């Protein structure tokens, strides 16, 4: 797991360095193909409010409240809150890459903060499921991956991110998430008791 986490972080950094120069053809192609947002920009605008930076903030507050109320699991929930915060911190490296967005916007583009937000909550949810409801891990992975894809699609449709910003956000969260979860002793999750 440690090697995979490190490899994902390295891939994230390398991708950021590659795309901080001229816009790759794949990014131009996806941006041009999305065109006018396929008429879905108003829907994407609403979805992106929910699946954005507010999501991890609400999740962290929820974890802290749950930790205060559920004493037997307080340590686990506090470590999950730290995991979520570490994953969300992937967005803080935007100034290192100074990548411009597809449209005029005051913030840098790589990685997508919205996708980082959704992926952070999803990763944390999957780890918590492995501890608390192992039988629901597959469902948590499916829901989390679907939410990340939906958030990414909305950011492209709104013409505020390149495809590689979204891929980079996902790589960064998975890499940082794995390394942080290992450091916090959240992985591997305990085997279910019979």
Which tens digits make up the pLDDT trace of 2-54? 999 999 999 999 999 999 989 999 999 988 887 665 567 778 888 999 999 99
- Domains of the chain, by residue range, sit at 2-183
User: Rounded to 5 degrees, what are φ and ψ at 174?
Assistant: -65, -45
- Position 194 scores a pLDDT of 57
- Position 37 scores a pLDDT of 53
Mean per-residue pLDDT for 140-164?
A: 95
């Amino acid at each position: 797991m440690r090697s995979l986490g490190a490899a994902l972080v390295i891939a994230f950094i390398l991708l950021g360095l590659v795309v901080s120069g001229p816009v790759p053809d794949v990014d131009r192609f996806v941006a041009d193909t999305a065109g006018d947002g396929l008429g879905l920009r108003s829907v994407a605008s609403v979805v992106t409010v929910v699946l954005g930076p507010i999501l991890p903030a609400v999740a962290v507050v929820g974890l802290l409240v749950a930790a205060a109320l559920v004493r037997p699991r307080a340590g686990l929930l506090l470590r999950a809150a730290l995991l979520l915060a570490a994953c969300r911190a992937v967005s803080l490296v935007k100034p290192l890459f100074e990548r411009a967005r597809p449209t005029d916007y005051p913030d840098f583009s790589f990685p997508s903060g919205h996708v980082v937000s959704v992926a952070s909550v999803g990763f944390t949810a999957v780890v918590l499921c492995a501890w608390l409801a192992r039988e629901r891990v597959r469902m948590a992975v499916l829901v989390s991956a679907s939410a990340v894809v939906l958030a990414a699609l909305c950011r492209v449709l709104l013409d505020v991110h390149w495809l590689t910003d979204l891929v980079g956000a996902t790589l960064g969260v998975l890499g940082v998430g794995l390394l942080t979860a290992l450091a916090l002793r959240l992985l591997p999750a305990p085997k279910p008791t019979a």
